[in-house]
Amino acid sequence: MDLDDFSQRHTEAVEQFNHWLHRGDGLRVAASLSAGLTLLRDALSVRLHEDVERLIGRDSMLVPVSELKARKLARREIDLYQTVESAVAARNFSYVESVDWYVRWLCHLRQIDSQTDPTAKARLAEYLEAPTEKRRARFAVELSKVLPESTRAPLVLFRLFPLAVEIATAQAFADHSRAARIRQTQASILPAILDCHGCHAKVLENGEQCAGCGNPLWKFSWLTAD
């Protein structure tokens, strides 16, 4: 997709948001949400691939071309999953009424061709139909098919990630108090995140990341801390 097409789709998404929700801050919401979800997708990809390889070594049977394809498929799966997580959060937090509309809108904003790609469309439907825990379990299974090393990642990562998507969604909608409460939930799951002297586990702006601990998606040394 070229830059002009990307810009056009982004503009269309902003206009759709303002029209559907009768708001005037679509540009800010879209920019914040895109920044937050992109960072989370890329950070999770690093945690499940590069970070695991640092600990258990590289799979010598995986040729570079296959590795690139695997990482592309993994990022796609992450995008699909967090699209649904963000949609469910947006509905539960009363930002939108229609989950289906939000999914279509976010796919358009994030350049996910859910209408022309039958596999993506089917996966979104599966995630939408599943309750939270089963959706998370299915996500882990699908990731393991394209990134087998992901099964070696700390399980707590898969508990923290959907909450991170909720925070990114709340931040995009300027619901900062809710984002802070969700961060408290994350801290109850992994108290070690409170020990970072750089960010002190505070909620960062979407697109920002703590160089010390990795907040909003923590580095392995923090995920495995006692």
pLDDT (0 to 100) of residue 136: 98
pLDDT the model gives residue 51: 74
Write a three-state SS string for the chain. Answer: CCHHHHHHHHHHHHHHHHHHHCCCCHHHHHHHHHHHHHHHHHHHHHHHCHHHHHHHCCCCCCCHHHHHHHHHHHHHHHHHHHHHHHHHHHHHCCCCCCHHHHHHHHHHHCCCCCCCCHHHHHHHHHHHHCCHHHHHHHHHHHHHHHCHHHHHCCCHHHHHHHHHHHHHHHHHCCCHHHHHHHHHHHHHHCHHHHHCCCCCCCCCCCCCCCCCCCCCCCCHHHHCCC
Question: What are the per-10-residue average pLDDT scores of the chain (226 residues)?
Answer: 71 96 97 98 92 65 65 94 99 98 96 84 96 98 91 94 99 99 98 97 98 97 85
Q: Please state the pTM of the whole predicted model.
A: 0.93
